Amino acid sequence: MKKAWCLSLAASLAACGQPAAPPDAPPAEVAEPSETAPEAEIQSPYEIGQPSASDVDYAALAAYPEGWAVTTGWPGEYPAGFVVLDPGVTVDGRARPNPQEPATVPCTLPQYANYQIWNQPRVDGDELTFIVATKEVPVTLKSDASIEVPTDAGGMQTLELKAGDVLSYLRYLGEGFAVFGFNGAEYDINEAELRDISDLDASAITEDQWV
């Protein structure tokens, strides 16, 4: 069961809900896969960056103010992670993923634990959830444009935009794609498509990553 939420700041990450293994347990040996073992399908960074379906309303749980988008998963081609090398490491967590919430919940992290969204045994064993809160940024089109965007069915559709249209930057995914809101819908758009025809400035994006 999740005990607390911790905010990732300057690559300093933390998580709670670790199993009952002793803190000084050495790293477990990983068995070599057998030659007959089936190969797991490898997802692209773009696919991994996609928000996952969940019954939990993390936006309501986080209670960020209006103008923030809260979604599951961490952005980026290679999401950050960390390994706990020292024994007896304890960090201060929060009861909910909001920076205004007091960090009053102590979380002890087991030695040698590897916290990373791709480390599925750790994610499953500790019942970890990764979410990101992104401050929404308006992106204004400088000229008309026809942009191809992927559909939920796996195909492509054309989004017709006019000069002066305003998109809302909601979050980064991976491999250059980000989620934008427009006219009440959300679209995965390659930022390169907007670079020369809008005032998009990806360096101005503010986000909080929680686990």
- Kindly report whether the global pTM for this prediction surpasses the value 0.95: no
Confidence check: pLDDT of 111 > 70? yes
Q: Which of 22-26, 108-112, 193-197 is predicted with the least confidence, judged by mean pLDDT?
A: 22-26
At residue 68, the pLDDT reads 98
Task: Return the pLDDT at 154.
Answer: 86
Q: Quote the pLDDT of residue 5.
A: 84
Given the candidates 2.30.30, 3.30.70, 1.10.3470, 1.20.1640, the CATH classification of the domain at 136-205 is 2.30.30
Beta bridge partners of 189: 178
pLDDT digits (tens, 9 = 90+) for 40-79: 454 444 454 555 556 789 999 999 999 999 999 999 988 8
State pLDDT tens for residues 78-100: 888 889 999 999 999 999 999 99
* pLDDT per position as a tens digit, 144-176: 999 999 988 889 999 999 999 999 999 999 999
Compute the distance between CA of residue 210 and CA of residue 183 in angstroms, rounded to an integer. 29
For the cut 60, the answer to whether the pLDDT of residue 138 exceeds it is yes
Q: What is the pLDDT of residue 32?
A: 45
Centre a 10 Å sphere on the Cβ of residue 140 and count the other Cβ atoms it contains.
Answer: 12
Please tell me the predicted confidence (pLDDT) of residue 38.
45
Reply yes or no on whether the pLDDT at 34 is more than 50: no
pLDDT of residue 146: 96
Q: Supply the mean pLDDT for the chain.
A: 82
Predicted confidence at residue 37, as pLDDT, reads 44
Q: Where are the domains of the chain?
A: 136-205
d(C-alpha 157, C-alpha 146), whole Å: 10
Question: Judging by beta carbons within 10 Å of its beta carbon (0-12, 13-18, 19+), is residue 135 exposed, middle or buried?
Answer: middle
